[in-house]
Amino acid sequence: MALQISAGMRYPRPPDTPIVVRESSPISPRPPKLLDRVREANRLRHGSRSTEKSYVGWIRRYILFHGKRHPAEMGAPEVTRFLSSLAVEGRVAASTQNQALSALLFLYRHVLHQDLPWLDDVVRAKRPARLPIVLTRDEVRAVIFELDGTPRLMATLLYGSGLRLLECARLRVQDIDFATNQIIVRDGKGAKDRVTVLPAVAKAPLARHLQRVKRQHEADLAHGAGWVELPWALARKYPNAGREWPWQWIFPATRFYFDRATGQRRRHHLHETVVQRAVIEAVRRARLAKRATPHTFRHSFATHLLEDGRDIRTVQELLGHNDVSTTMIYTHVLNRGPAGVTSPADRVLDP
């Protein structure tokens, strides 16, 4: 009887048969996608996350605008056509158009490494000189008194310390010095640190707020959470620092999130839109005839300090401006311009 061997059967190898080991051909890793290369280039230069998000968004729009063509196949005409479309059809502001241009210049210079002469010839849109909206002291008081809880405390710091909204949201416990009445702003705009004033009126409410945040943090630790994101490579240098009290956000979010890379249950800082919505609603309830936002408190901080006779260089340092000319825009409400001039109509027509 013949033995039938099916394809799936195994049979013993005859002795003394050499075993041949075939080397598998190495699989070359797939090159990263273009937008991933943009993110990598931004992080290599320690760019902020907001810049990274903005650049990726503009580059994606640029590619879609030209029918998903690869940017390496395009040049000055395509960039100019895209920017013109933003201005003519999209009617975007000059600052928005310049932001899109900066994203494309970053793409060609630092990602595609194309040193093209036309990059320097692309014309940037001229930004109009806009005067900031400034609230009077009574208007500041009216708006802040319409706020409650955490938004009210944050608005007090925005006005009392001249903070940007994101700078306030990113404050950590160790950034507050109650003894010297100072706030340390870490990695502010332009990746700079600075020191500003802690208003005395905010010290007691802030201390009570920190007590509540600490109780919440201790409860998080008891449930296996309590982690926060650390800047740059500090998490590798200090593995447990993310659970320590000094690194916690002063204004934490109300919910956890799960970080897949580390497996940690973390809290992010309170999202800035929470304060934005609260301030806009407070301005409406205060019945102000001004279009005020959280950033208006920073404008008012600088203007009121100059009204009180503070040196403009001091105000520049508190705001973190690179150039004093940026700070000088707040002198428009002082008695050095139109506000200090008596109209000839008051002399001629006054009965």
Give the domain CATH number at 205. 1.10.443.10
Q: Averaged over 88-101, what is the pLDDT?
A: 86
- Tell whether the model's pLDDT for residue 4 goes beyond 50: no
- Residues 148, 116, single domain; the answer is no
Q: Tens digit of pLDDT for each residue in 189-203?
A: 877 899 999 999 999
Q: Range of 247's domain?
A: 137-331
Residue 60 lies in a domain: yes
- Residues 293, 167, single domain; the answer is yes
CATH code of the domain in which 79 resides: 1.10.150.130
**Measured between alpha carbons, how far is 61 from 67 in angstroms, rounded to an integer?**
10
Predicted confidence band at 259 (pLDDT cuts at 50, 70, 90)? confident
Q: Tens digit of pLDDT for each residue in 104-116?
A: 989 998 999 886 6
DSSP H helices, the chain, are: 34-44, 49-65, 76-88, 94-106, 137-145, 149-161, 165-169, 200-222, 234-237, 272-286, 294-307, 312-319, 324-327, 344-348
Domain boundary among 95, 120, 145: 120
- Residues 179, 214, single domain; the answer is yes
- Tell whether the model's pLDDT for residue 166 goes beyond 90: yes
- Residues 114, 241, single domain; the answer is no
- Residues 65, 208, single domain; the answer is no
Q: Averaged over 262-289, what is the pLDDT?
A: 94
- Tell whether the model's pLDDT for residue 275 goes beyond 70: yes
Q: Tens digit of pLDDT for each residue in 39-82?
A: 999 888 878 788 899 999 999 999 999 999 999 898 888 888 89
- Residues 149, 234, single domain; the answer is yes
Residue 14, both tokens: 């005859």
- Residues 242, 165, single domain; the answer is yes
Predicted confidence band at 28 (pLDDT cuts at 50, 70, 90)? low
- Tell whether the model's pLDDT for residue 161 goes beyond 70: yes
Q: Tens digit of pLDDT for each residue in 138-150?
A: 999 999 999 999 9
Residue 17 lies in a domain: no
DSSP H helices, 147-247, are: 149-161, 165-169, 200-222, 234-237
Share of the chain above pLDDT 70, in %: 83
- Tell whether the model's pLDDT for residue 2 goes beyond 60: no
Return the DSSP state at 251: S
* Lowest mean per-residue pLDDT among 69-78, 177-186, 268-277, 295-304: 69-78
pLDDT of residue 5: 38
Q: Per this entry, what is the length of the chain?
A: 351
Residue 12 lies in a domain: no
- Residues 97, 162, single domain; the answer is no
Provide the 3-class DSSP secondary structure of residue 249: strand
Nearest to 229, CA basis, from 210, 256, 193, 195: 256
pLDDT of residue 174: 96
pLDDT of residue 276: 96
**Measured between alpha carbons, how far is 250 from 173 in angstroms, rounded to an integer?**
6
Reported for 235-242, long-range contacts at CB under 8 A and 24+ positions apart, including other chains, are: 235/262, 242/266
**Measured between alpha carbons, how far is 132 from 129 in angstroms, rounded to an integer?**
10
pLDDT of residue 178: 95
Residue 297 lies in a domain: yes
pLDDT of residue 341: 63
**Measured between alpha carbons, how far is 135 from 9 in angstroms, rounded to an integer?**
87
- Residues 236, 301, single domain; the answer is yes
The domain total for the chain is 2
Mean pLDDT of the chain: 85
Q: Which sequence positions are flagged as catalytic?
A: 164, 189, 295, 298, 321, 330
- Residues 254, 179, single domain; the answer is yes
- Residues 106, 219, single domain; the answer is no
pLDDT of residue 87: 82
pLDDT of residue 350: 65
- Tell whether the model's pLDDT for residue 318 goes beyond 60: yes
**Beta-sheet pairing, 252-259 with 182-185:** unpaired
